[in-house]
Structure 1
């Protein structure tokens, strides 16, 4: 019998899971500021949501004893980073690292959501 080979498995989309202190505040930020839409919620009271914009998904989970981190929660690619950055600035999003060309072939910046989750946004140069 042959051994299973991981190279024969095709992976589908991957969606980051974010822990948040207040699910409604996080949902409002990602939907109203960044243009995502809530496509699923679960629990009574609601403790989990799926947000979607184009091919991107974010899975939010409310965590009672949420603790901030200084590492990036996830990386996201966009097709017009200059406009995305301008929207973030105009809407008062907390920018952690300003937009600039990086030596790894991307134009990128980092912002923080209301819970301090850091999101690294990039566009290939």
Structure 2
């Protein structure tokens, strides 16, 4: 078997896998607040889900003893960060960093899902 150089290997999609304590509660949040649809789930009871909205994809994995960290677990690009920020505020989502214009060319904020997972949201402004 010949080894192909990594420069010649084509990578496909990559999606963050987010650990959650209660997968059904996490699905309710991501679907009702952010508009994601479930496109796959495994097992009974369900321990893994794939959610999708437009080009964004998230994988949820149930881990009953999950403890969130203080680092962002995913970065989502959207076309209107201010609108999503307002939606998160009206839904009572915990905001970690308020909406702000960043010097690196984004309008961005960070929120925490019900399990404390931090999601960084950005909109390219240049």
TM-score between the two structures when normalised by the length of structure 1? 0.94
Render the CA deviation track for 1:26-73: whole Å, top value 9, x for unaligned.
000000111001111101211011111001111000002211211101
Where in structure 1 are there 5+ consecutive unaligned residues? Answer: none
Instruction: Report how far residue 3 of structure 1 moved.
Output: 5.9
Where in structure 2 are there 5+ consecutive unaligned residues? Answer: none
TM-score between the two structures when normalised by the length of structure 2? 0.93
User: Partners of 1:11 and 1:123 in 2: how far apart?
Assistant: 24
Moved over 3 A (4+): none
Query: More displaced, 24-33 or 59-68?
Result: 59-68
Superposition RMSD in Å:
1.2
Instruction: Report how far residue 81 of structure 1 moved.
Output: 1.0
Q: Which residue of 1 aligns with 2:106?
A: 106
Q: Which residue of 1 aligns with 2:34?
A: 34
Specify the SS of the correspondent of 2:95: strand
